[in-house]
Structure 1
């Protein structure tokens, strides 16, 4: 059995623009997924109406999943419209249409913003896990915003114990090490060098069972591979709450973590049980895919 990729950005039809990266269609992507040993993928959304390239809208992702349910499932997102009173109904409608979670949440507001709080509360009530992209600052890039040390995320984890939060992006994974930088640019970098024990991500994983990890892109890859023994210990310790993912948008992209996980399993440095949980069983258990 192959892997389940919990983080893909694809289109219903091919997209290519001179000022942006190309986005493969769901059909174009299938041979590449097979080559990488991926059986199924979960599509990320950027919202209800416009969708920022390379993210598709809820509707486009739903169309892909309905056209090829053997290989694709989808998550949904809401537009950043501050209409907190309609959040539950809008998310419930997405779930009824087949959405398996909420993501990729990229709204560039602090995690204590009322609109985000309404999303997190509704997500717990509906049983829809939330994959978030984190940014170090409002008005800087994209993603939900927290301060150094992730105090706002901790408050969310406390306030919404029934909501599963899947952390993603440089600003989240840089906090795996105690010496995580505190400046804006430093917090938006991939981690390098040995991990200093005592980082906030491992601490929050220990304290809050509703914190999970999206292992996509170089942000998670570097967090785990920068210090291989630390990374392997982290994978074993939190095997039930980590999800293999790539963040690919086209058939030319490859991230190194998938091959690294295969190598560690084959060499006996990563248990087969942990490998299977991370690469497919957790996705089936939590998301039903």
Structure 2
């Protein structure tokens, strides 16, 4: 079965390679996706204005040019809170299937973010967020250790689907998650200790979903295979295969790991198909 990748980055026009790497064009990405057994990818936006990473308009054009291989999520710049719903409605009308990845570096209880969450629920646009351990630490929405603001957000916006992503989110899979910024921004390692906040929030809030992209999610599942497989089975209807690739040299191990687990009978075919494809079709209409 081919997969749907719910988290990919690319550009419409070539970006010169630098010492920090490069971003592949949509045309360059397609053969790489085929090699990885990925039939379709959802492109995530950097915002409403330009930059090295593609913005809403770039992604809209890419998907109009190649709707077979690509769909897109829109993003917002942190301006004009009074027009948030209008802007999101326009992007949805243009074909956006969600909001992502949301990475405005403000605390989750910030009024602007709450306006986005309210509008997202009204419009039926799931929100994929990148989390940061604190304001001023890189990019991403901000929560404290233990994710108290995320829990309040899930309570306050029950009609909004939230997809957790990045290290400070997935490090909370284990009950011994670190509390310092650097530790929270690391990949999880070793056996999962009971009492993690992510499993607790998944159990309590049906509007919390998971973006399984990058090594943050990959390590959260593969660090303790017995726990990871049980988590996949229990929440199979709310987890999405994804990569977070930005160029054709990137390959994340989770896809191959999932393939091996189902082939060897450790992961059910039902859970595998839901995570790798069917959830994206059902929740995002792909």
Shorter chain as denominator, the TM-score bin is: over 0.9
Measured after TM superposition, the shift of residue 128 of structure 1 is 0.2
Q: For 2:159 and 2:192, locate their aligned partners in 1 and report how far apart those are by CA, in whole Å.
A: 30
Count of equivalent residues: 286
List aligned pairs for 1:67-216, cutoff 5 A: 67-81=65-79, 83-216=80-213
Give the superposition deviation at 1:198: 1.1
Distance 1:20 1:97 in 2: 32
Q: Structure 2: which 5+ runs fail to align? A: none
2:210 partner SS: strand
TM norm structure 1: 0.98
Unaligned runs of 5+ in 1: none
Query: 1:80: Cα distance to partner?
Result: 1.4
- Segments of 4+ moved more than 4 angstroms: none
Structure 2 equivalent of residue 231 of structure 1: 228
The two structures have a TM-score, normalised by structure 2, of 0.99
**RMSD between aligned alpha carbons?**
0.7
Q: Choose which of 220, 225, 246 in structure 2 pairs with 1:249.
A: 246
Question: CA separation in 2, counterparts of 1:9 and 1:44?
Answer: 6
Alpha-carbon distance between aligned partners in 2 of 1:48 and 1:56, rounded to the nearest angstrom: 9
Q: How many angstroms does 1:84 deviate by?
A: 1.3
Q: Distance in 1 between matches of 2:95 and 2:139?
A: 26
SS state at 2:87 partner: helix
Q: Aligned partners of 1:45 and 1:109: how far apart in 2?
A: 18
2:31 corresponding residue in structure 1 = 31
* Aligned counterpart, 1:8: 8
The 2-side partners of 1:159 and 1:57 are apart by 29
Q: Residue in 1 aligned with 2:63?
A: 65
Cα distance in 1 for partners of 2:31, 2:11 equals 15
State the shift of 1:76 in Å. Answer: 0.3
Distance 1:58 1:208 in 2: 30
> Aligned partners of 1:117, 1:79: CA distance in 2, in Å?
14
Distance 1:263 1:16 in 2: 36
What is the rounded CA distance, in whole Å, between the counterparts of 2:77 and 2:55 in structure 1?
Answer: 10
* Alpha-carbon shift at residue 19 of structure 1 (Å): 4.4
The one of 54, 57, 73 aligned to 1:56:
54
Instruction: State how far apart, in whole Å, the 2-side matches of 1:227 and 1:8 are.
Output: 26
